[in-house]
Structure 1
Amino acid sequence: MHEEEALSQFSNPEFNPNGIAIYPNSKNGYWLSNPSADTSRPNDLDFTNDLLTLMEEKLCIDTRRVYAAGKSNGGGFTGVIACNATVGSRFAAFAAVSGAWYNTDDIPGVGPCAPAKREEGYPFLEFHGTIDTTAPIDGNTKEHPKLPVIDILEGWAERNGCGANAKWTKNETVFQQLLVNHASWDCAGQAGIVQHYREGENGHCWPSTVGNDDYERLASQCPLGKYVFNATEYIFDFFGHYQLKD
């Protein structure tokens, strides 16, 4: 997954000086959050669980500080991981860039979101461009409809103790020139446990101040050629606030 490594820069010590980054491939090209995914067992959740067990056996890692992140279909799969009581409970926090949010309730092996109960909650961070036509921020009604991002955020706010249809605690413009808005939810005494960056004039691209392959391949969606912040920097800062209880 050299493309994902180059895109995310998760192996770059400038962003990630202390962690190990792993770039798995989905089964037959679609992660299990996509209705076109191969749902036969072992599925992507089984694979993720087995992969994490293997990494714990082979590498010296802090099992309290394991995180999941992805883009597009991979971003949607981070939500599937978090919703799974067995696999999601092994991860401390989750992040998605331009997540493709399908309704997974009827996908075999996934079903309705049912995370394990835990004191730490499920910290969730999402980035989305306002001109994304691949995974529109407000969803769509095509053959495989995608859900509005706000539904995903409010869902995680509710699961983290904010109650149904919880509105953000804070919503502010952080980059005036492109109208980038940062919204966050404080739930059950945990400040900013759910967060979102709404990116004006950005499409289905991983925000980067130096540009990346997304901006070259998807020039029509990402006309600026680069962006005003590095999503990777924000992701690692977010992850750094969370770890599982012993």
Structure 2
Amino acid sequence: MVRLLTFLLVSAVSFLPCLAQGSAGCGKDVAATSNRQFNITSSNTGRGFLLHLPDGYDTNKQYPVIFGFHGSGSVGIYFEVDTKFSAPEWAGNDTIMVYPDALNGTWATGLPGSTPLEEDLIFVGDLLNYIRETYCVDNERVYATGISNGGGFVNRIACSTTIGRNFAAFAPDSGAYTGFEKDSKGNSTCTPYKIPIPIISFHGGNDSTVPYDGRNTSLNGTPIIATPPIEYWLQGWVDRNNCTNMTETTNGTVHHFTWTCAGIDAAMEHYKVDNMGHVWPSTEPNFSQTQDGKGVAPIEADALILGFFDRFQVNTTGTSTGNPPSSTESGAPSGTESNAPSQTTAGGGGNAAGRVEASILGMGLAVMLVVLSGFKLIVI
């Protein structure tokens, strides 16, 4: 009997961490405005971000968090409006969305003059600490997505042993994967905290900004950042994640690849869309697709990303997708604590009509901010 009671007690204590996934911000009162622009201090530098809270935010409900990283020469509000992640039909009703701003509009690239990688990673850690301390967060469900230079930075987070361990899954789109994950001596600079790291990625076969087949260090005599072929980048993660059994399904111009990684079905997914450019994939018009001029995409990245994220948590390995394609082959396809932030209201609305109006206003504000800043949208 004593041994049985001891076993039950130990089992109960071991189970407590599973119940205690909520962050320190659970139960704290916060303003109910849906969208707010904040500034925090990180590495002795002011850093900005846009925060979206779900309508009817409940201080005692644990919410997942998605970080969205904009492209080079842009700002967080642009990424929000372009992706529409904050809309009720996507993540807006049940997810805390965080849209950080890069210093001078660009995330760490490794080039001279770029923000040091360590400084940007510390900012992400400081920002996540602030979100956890202020709002009710499910610590097991924190994710990152981004486009272009922001997609490349998402890759850097996934490669980080320290900051990366706070995130359950990653979703880069049109990623500029600069640095090739190796230093000048050929040593790997990508050291993920676990295997596998769940990743879903997207890239256009007609992307002229970050070409699918990679690019050199100059364009018409102008120095630019070299990027590897996407197949090379994918193969790197296939190797790190111990992936096998690649499957490919093709539907028109869409090629969908999945891998079984460390025994987890579809822990890696990749979408190549032949005629798609340097855009956020959506079946509805958005900023990046309008700017690119090739029309809407045949896939909806928001839905695919949210479905992928739902399968993974920080301290679990994931679950099977249930219906893997039939063909198989291996390989790739041919912080510190922040100061209390200052804030300004950037929109809101408690109903669908209000949210649509806020999105229109936000779109105008995004364009105005980028134009006034002298940035060119979504470039590397």
Q: Distance in 1 between matches of 2:260 and 2:100?
A: 32
The 5-angstrom pairing of residues 60-139 of structure 1 reads 60-103=136-179, 105-106=182-183, 112-116=189-193, 118=194, 121-139=196-214
Moved more, 12-21 or 201-210: 12-21
Local SS of the residue matching 1:169: strand
Q: 1:88 to 1:140 in 2, by over 3 A?
A: same
Q: Which runs of 5+ in 2 are unaligned?
A: 1-75, 219-224, 317-380
Which residue of structure 2 lines up, in the alignment, with residue 240 of structure 1? 310
Q: 1:213 to 1:39 in 2, by over 3 A?
A: closer
| Residue 183 (structure 1) aligned to one of 237, 254, 257 | 257
The 5-angstrom pairing of residues 1-246 of structure 1 reads 1-16=76-91, 17-33=93-109, 35=111, 38-40=114-116, 43-103=119-179, 105-106=182-183, 112-116=189-193, 118=194, 121-143=196-218, 144-162=225-243, 169-173=246-250, 175-176=251-252, 179-219=253-293, 223=294, 225-245=295-315
Where in structure 1 do 4 or more consecutive aligned residues deviate above 3 Å?
A: 39-42, 104-107
Shift of 1:154: 1.6
Q: Distance in 1 between matches of 2:117 and 2:107?
A: 13
Alignment root-mean-square deviation, CA? 1.9
> Would the aligned equivalents of 2:109 and 2:115 in 1 still touch at CA under 8 Å?
no
Q: Distance in 2 between matches of 1:37 and 1:131?
A: 30
1:82-140: CA deviations, max 9, x gaps?
Answer: 11110001000000111111125449xxx711112x36x21011101111010001101
Higher relative contact order (CA 8 A, sep 6+): 2
Q: 1:181 to 1:96 in 2, by over 3 A?
A: same
Q: 1:192 to 1:40 in 2, by over 3 A?
A: closer
Shift of 1:230: 1.0
Q: Distance in 2 between matches of 1:128 and 1:37?
A: 27
* Larger Rg belongs to: 2
> Would the aligned equivalents of 2:168 and 2:314 in 1 still touch at CA under 8 Å?
yes
Shift of 1:39: 3.5
> Would the aligned equivalents of 2:121 and 2:157 in 1 still touch at CA under 8 Å?
yes
Q: Which runs of 5+ in 1 are unaligned?
A: none
Aligned residues: 230
Q: Distance in 2 between matches of 1:226 and 1:37?
A: 35
Shift of 1:40: 4.4
Identical-pair percentage: 37
Specify which structure has the higher proportion of strand. 2
Q: Distance in 1 between matches of 2:151 and 2:201?
A: 9
